[in-house]
């Protein structure tokens, strides 16, 4: 029922910036958390950043000080501002959300968007 639509990935030089967006397809959703994961070639998927309904955030140590997650509740959209990009940030980035359906929390994933950082 709910779909997460991602955008903003691309190719960027080291030290550059990108802004990822992820929007839930339906309005008036009870979104508990939204966040971003990434998966680089040969590596497991890892948490990058998460934002809770109250606005608190958490980041992987590798991106602290460089990435910022934010949320627009009216648009059911989460953003990831990525600054000071490094080659090791190259990965497929996946949006993730935990959404209330009745009294059940359901987990959703986006299709992924490629971020490539050149040296």
Q: What is the dihedral of CA 38, 43, 45, 47, to 10 degrees?
A: -70
Q: Which of the listed ranges 1-5, 53-57, 91-95, 102-106 does the model predict with the highest average pLDDT?
A: 91-95
Which pLDDT score is estimated for 74? 86
Compute the distance between CA of residue 118 and CA of residue 97 in angstroms, rounded to an integer.
29
The answer for 76, left when phi > 0, alpha when psi is -120 to 50, beta otherwise, is left
The predicted pLDDT at position 99 comes to 93
Question: What pLDDT is recorded for position 26?
Answer: 84
- Give the SS3 label for residue 6: strand
- Residue 82 clears pLDDT 90, i.e. is over it: yes
| CA neighbor of 11 nearest in space, from 85, 118, 119 | 118
The Cα 7–Cα 79 span in angstroms is: 10
Convert the pLDDT of each residue in 47-64 to its tens digit: 999 999 889 999 999 999
Better pLDDT: 112 or 30: 112
pLDDT at residue 58 in the model: 98
pLDDT per position as a tens digit, 20-79? 999 999 877 888 999 999 999 999 999 999 999 889 999 999 999 999 999 998 889 999
């Amino acid at each position: 029922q709910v779909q997460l639509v991602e955008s903003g990935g691309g190719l960027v030089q080291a030290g550059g910036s990108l802004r990822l967006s992820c929007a839930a397809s339906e309005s008036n959703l009870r979104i508990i958390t939204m966040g971003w994961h990434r998966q680089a070639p040969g590596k497991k998927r890892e948490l990058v950043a998460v934002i809770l309904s109250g606005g608190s955030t958490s980041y992987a140590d590798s991106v602290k000080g460089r990435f910022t997650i934010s949320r627009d509740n009216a648009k059911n959209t989460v953003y990831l501002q990525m600054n000071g990009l490094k080659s090791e940030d190259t990965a497929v980035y996946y949006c993730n959300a935990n959404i209330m359906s009745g009294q059940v929390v359901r987990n959703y994933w986006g299709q992924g968007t490629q971020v490539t950082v050149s040296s």
